[in-house]
Amino acid sequence: MKLFLILASLVLLIVFVFYQRSKLAKNKVVRVISDNCAGCQLCVKKCGAKALGMEERENGKRIVVNPDKCTACKNCIAVCRFNALELVNRKQEEYQQSFLHNK
């Protein structure tokens, strides 16, 4: 009985952690603060979801985020020494990006 309770608690804990993670991924996404970025690409190497990449833009090379792949795990934020990444509201970011693209 004791073992059953321990196993049930563990399963509940795992379900809870997965639920919290998927909720975070649904609501949040990473944004690059380009002015702070040194272009070291540590974040690109750290992102297991392959949501970050370096792209050539008209004003030079830039780190770009693929929001469809970002799981909001914050691993990239943890390795960035330049305070160039932040977690933001996904809907707000999508709105701002669509606004910028339609400019």
Count of residues in contact with ligand SF4, rule CB under 6 A: 28
Q: Taking CB under 6 A as the rule, does residue 93 contact ligand SF4?
A: no
Q: Is residue 31 a contact point for ligand SF4 (CB under 6 A)?
A: no
DSSP 36: G
Distances (CA, A) of 59 to 35, 51, 55, 73, 81: 12, 21, 11, 29, 23
Q: Contacting ligand SF4 (CB under 6 A), which of 8, 16, 39, 57?
A: 39
In this chain, which of 82, 86, 88, 97 binds ligand SF4, going by CB under 6 A? 82
By CB under 6 A, residue 27 contacts ligand SF4? no
Contact 63, 45 (CB under 8 A): no
